[in-house]
Amino acid sequence: MRMEAIPFGTTDWSQIERVEKRGEEGVAIWRTQRFGDLRVRMVEYTPGYRADHWCAKGHILLCIAGELHTELEDGRRFVLTPGMSYQVADDAESHRSHTTVGATLFIVD
């Protein structure tokens, strides 16, 4: 992937509109910036959040706070804590996440 036509800029995430998305349990709060085809998000999961779907979208995801549990469709499970990340390609391995304590994530996709 080549990032083009994105001038230098800064983002004050506290000023980006919050959009709530309900999960099977809990809420995900998205703040999203788009740069051409690139989507950059700060996402907060409330304590007890559980995704309501398997996701096949590719991401690079960094855990900033809390703890994120991610399950792959093949049964493997991973736990991210602050400073840890994962990366997965589009349509490579479907995944879904949940958190008991809540989590704040920085996601590029």
Domains of the chain from N-terminus onward = 18-66+84-108 (2.60.120.10)
pTM for the model: 0.93
What's the pLDDT score for residue 54?
A: 97
- CA distance to 26, 75, 103, per residue, from 109 (Å): 23, 23, 18
Query: CB–CB of 86/62 below 8 Å?
Result: no
**Each residue's pLDDT tens digit, 53-103:** 999 999 999 999 999 999 999 999 999 999 999 999 999 999 999 999 999
